[in-house]
Structure 1
């Protein structure tokens, strides 16, 4: 599926044009969590013990789901809610029961699969509440986590897909932000701040996950056995 004019009945819109709850700041937070979840999965991978792209992908999905669940439960993001915490994970961006249901997947944003487009019952119900039954017909909101060499995240795209051949929104989420420019110095880019959880990448680097070596026990000499004497 290409976000080209031939696939669209009208030009793609921005997320907040579709629903006011889909603000840039909120989408950045969610995309950052998903990108950092895959970073952590890669940091923990052990190819010597049998990890491969499939197992890393499963872990990245679980880590992404857990980050979103933890953020929703923390109360720091009152606009974030988990709607379905199963393997069909659905979360909601918005408040007052009028939020937009969203799912995420790893893969090309231009080529969502049939599985990616499949909508859950609770997702369709929530979408009807947020947009109305007519506007919600065949619509799905997705984050596409695109990866490149070594499984690293290249970009995260927010999508609004209607059916199998219509793209209503195709918005690459900015994961970088410009640092403050100092007079006479070059402007550098830095990754947007984490979501408050450093993940295993930091703790592994510091050795925090490695237990301290236990002191070796000193051998305790067994008491001598009494020797039998001949009478």
Structure 2
């Protein structure tokens, strides 16, 4: 068990660390992440070979896209993108934040790895020695069907991931996630499961596809 999970939850709130990290901003970013994951789940196609790994990769890409598109559109003036690569770093009024899917109480070594550009930007945003080894993360925790259960804001420090803030973000009703779309591709036994026995519209789509691809009888 990592030291992050051993630490008691901090009474500090994100905006105690920096005023840019306001509740409504973090909630907006979390809903964009949830939207990206929901879209990936809704488009999952087990008949074409989608599995937990492929859907997980797509969910990460879709979530990045949601944040990048919102930043480019100017929908949220405080939202920016620092790094568009697979190391993806976004900005909340200049404060760098990264996200990962997993248990907020068990961030792994990859999650605790800080990019040079991230450290430099954090020094600009916070200044002084307060930023030494500090990093901000959004942990996206998922349920059995791969849907977003909660998003937790984490302020972690150092390679050991010492917790300085652990704050579940209020997402609001539905969190922007189309539950029926998630159920359509849900099942048991996988971290991001895809149902072998799809229901409703998904079953109809699969049936139509099989009929279209089936060889026609010779008359």
The reply to whether TM is greater than 0.5 is yes
TM-score (norm 2): 0.76
Distance 1:11 1:150 in 2: 30
Equivalent residue for 1:137, pick from 132, 136, 144: 132
Q: Is the 8 A contact 2:35 2:176 kept in 1?
A: no
**What is the DSSP-based 3-state SS (H/G/I as helix, E as strand, rest coil) of the residue aligned with 2:145?**
helix
Q: How many residues align?
A: 183
Distance 1:206 1:76 in 2: 33
Partner residue in 1 for 2:152: 157
Runs of 4 or more above 6 Å deviation: none
TM-score (norm 1): 0.73
Q: Is the 8 A contact 1:12 1:167 kept in 2?
A: no
In the alignment, structure 1 segments of 5+ residues that lack a partner are 177-189, 211-231
**What is the DSSP-based 3-state SS (H/G/I as helix, E as strand, rest coil) of the residue aligned with 2:90?**
strand
Deviation at 1:193, TM superposition (A): 5.4
Question: 2:187 aligned with 1:191, yes or no?
Answer: no
Deviations 1:124-153 (A, max 9, x none): 000001111411111110010001112111
Q: Is the 8 A contact 1:3 1:170 kept in 2?
A: no
Matches within 5 A, 1:66-85: 66-85=65-84
Deviations 1:101-128 (A, max 9, x none): 0000000000001000111111000000
Question: 2:105 aligned with 1:106, yes or no?
Answer: no
**What is the DSSP-based 3-state SS (H/G/I as helix, E as strand, rest coil) of the residue aligned with 2:86?**
coil
- Give the stretch that moved more between structures: 40-49 or 23-32: 40-49
In the alignment, structure 2 segments of 5+ residues that lack a partner are 182-199, 206-219
Partner residue in 2 for 1:183: none
Deviation at 1:206, TM superposition (A): 9.5
Determine which structure has the larger helix proportion and give its number.
Answer: 2
**What is the DSSP-based 3-state SS (H/G/I as helix, E as strand, rest coil) of the residue aligned with 2:12?**
coil
User: Of the two structures, which has the highest relative contact order with CA contacts closer than 8 Å and spacing of 6 or more?
Assistant: 2
Question: 2:36 aligned with 1:37, yes or no?
Answer: yes
Distance 1:29 1:111 in 2: 24
Q: Which has the larger radius of gyration?
A: 1
Distance 2:103 2:147 in 1: 13
Distance 2:143 2:175 in 1: 20
Using a 3 Å threshold, how does the CA distance of structure 1 residues 78 and 27 change in structure 2: closer, same or farther?
same
Q: Is the 8 A contact 1:145 1:155 kept in 2?
A: yes
Using a 3 Å threshold, how does the CA distance of structure 1 residues 13 and 81 change in structure 2: closer, same or farther?
same
Q: Is the 8 A contact 2:34 2:176 kept in 1?
A: no
**What is the DSSP-based 3-state SS (H/G/I as helix, E as strand, rest coil) of the residue aligned with 1:113?**
coil
